[in-house]
Amino acid sequence: MERCSGDVLWIASIASHRVHSRGILVRLLERLRGREQLLVRAADDLPLLLLSFPRGGLPVAREIEVAYAHTLPRLSAATRAPYQPVFRALPAMLVVLLRPLNPCRCLGHHHPRGAESRLTKRLAADLGRSIGEIDLAYQGIREWTPQPLSSLAAGALGSRLAGIHFQAGVLAVLLHELEHLALPENPEQETRARSNAFYSAAMQQLVAEESGADYGMAARPPRP
């Protein structure tokens, strides 16, 4: 299995044996039930995403489609600018394997060449071109929040804040893993700093658009 990032942004906690067992059971159930796919098109400078998700998981796939195809392009140019070199270095199409949780409790992984799923290898062979692959643990992303947080807008937004967090969080994890995939020589510390900054900037803009109030962190996210 690929090494997990050491950043608190991508790891909820060290997994217990019980959590590992739950993750393995989820993977086995996915194989029995099968998987579905959703092709996501966004701006011209962004690669196509083929989301592969457990059968019955279309609602969360649609949430990720909204984040990638609509939320990401509307973020400020300054927020998106650090990832332009990443987008230029990526193949034209990427497979994103969606799971509720990863057995290791990481929120995402990039899959080096040769470690891709059968789906990705088959697509690459059929299309005659390179296709990248990552995975995202959407339930883990939904449950994760950096601590401590403070925001005047949080109380006013109520349950809507969770949806905004998921949009910003899934994009931050996605871009973090895409940077590892596209530019593996980049130091982890720099990649981590970029994705932390992206999450903070995205939350600030999205909360301000929704409520007219500001959103901030009382302290920087703790490091392991």
Per-residue pLDDT reduced to its tens digit, 43-67: 888 999 999 999 899 999 999 999 9
Looking at residue 19, its pLDDT comes to 38
Q: Cβ(146)–Cβ(37) under 8 Å? A: no
Mean residue pLDDT of the chain comes to 81
The residue segments making up the domain with residue 198 are 17-217
Average pLDDT over residues 74-81: 96
Residue 11 lies in a domain: no
The answer on pLDDT for 129 being more than 60 is yes
| Tokens representing residue 24 in the block | 């393995």
User: CA quadruple 128, 129, 134, 135: dihedral positive or negative?
Assistant: negative
Per-residue pLDDT reduced to its tens digit, 152-192: 455 667 678 889 999 999 999 999 999 999 999 999 999 99
| Residue carrying structure tokens 């470690």 | 115
Residue 1 lies in a domain: no
Could you tell me where the beta strands, DSSP code E, fall in 30-146? 35-40, 48-54, 93-99, 108-110, 132-137
118 or 84, greater pLDDT? 84
Which letter, b or e, does each residue of 84-103 get, where b requires 16 or more Cβ atoms within 10 Å of its Cβ? eebbeebeebbbbbbbbbbb
Residue 174 lies in a domain: yes
Q: Give 144's pLDDT tier (boundaries 50, 70, 90).
A: confident
Per-residue pLDDT reduced to its tens digit, 10-35: 333 333 333 344 455 555 555 555 78
Residue 99 lies in a domain: yes
Residue 10 lies in a domain: no
Looking at residue 113, its pLDDT comes to 84
Residue 9 lies in a domain: no
The β-bridge partners of 35 are: 54
What is the C-alpha separation between 36 and 40, in angstroms, rounded? 13
Looking at residue 20, its pLDDT comes to 42
Q: Give 224's pLDDT tier (boundaries 50, 70, 90).
A: very low
| Residue carrying structure tokens 């987008």 | 87
pTM of the model: 0.80
Looking at residue 18, its pLDDT comes to 37
What is the C-alpha separation between 83 and 43, in angstroms, rounded? 14
Looking at residue 26, its pLDDT comes to 52
Residue 28 neighbours by CB distance under 10 Å: 10
The answer on pLDDT for 2 being more than 50 is no
| 159: region left, alpha or beta (phi > 0 left; psi from -120 to 50 alpha) | alpha
Could you tell me where the beta strands, DSSP code E, fall in 32-183? 35-40, 48-54, 93-99, 108-110, 132-137, 149-150
Which amino acid is residue 74, in one-letter code?
Answer: R
What is the count of structural domains for the chain?
1
Residue 6 lies in a domain: no
Q: Give 72's pLDDT tier (boundaries 50, 70, 90).
A: very high
- DSSP for residue 82: G
Which amino acid is residue 100, in one-letter code?
Answer: P
- DSSP for residue 5: P
Residue 58 lies in a domain: yes
User: CA quadruple 198, 204, 207, 209: dihedral positive or negative?
Assistant: negative
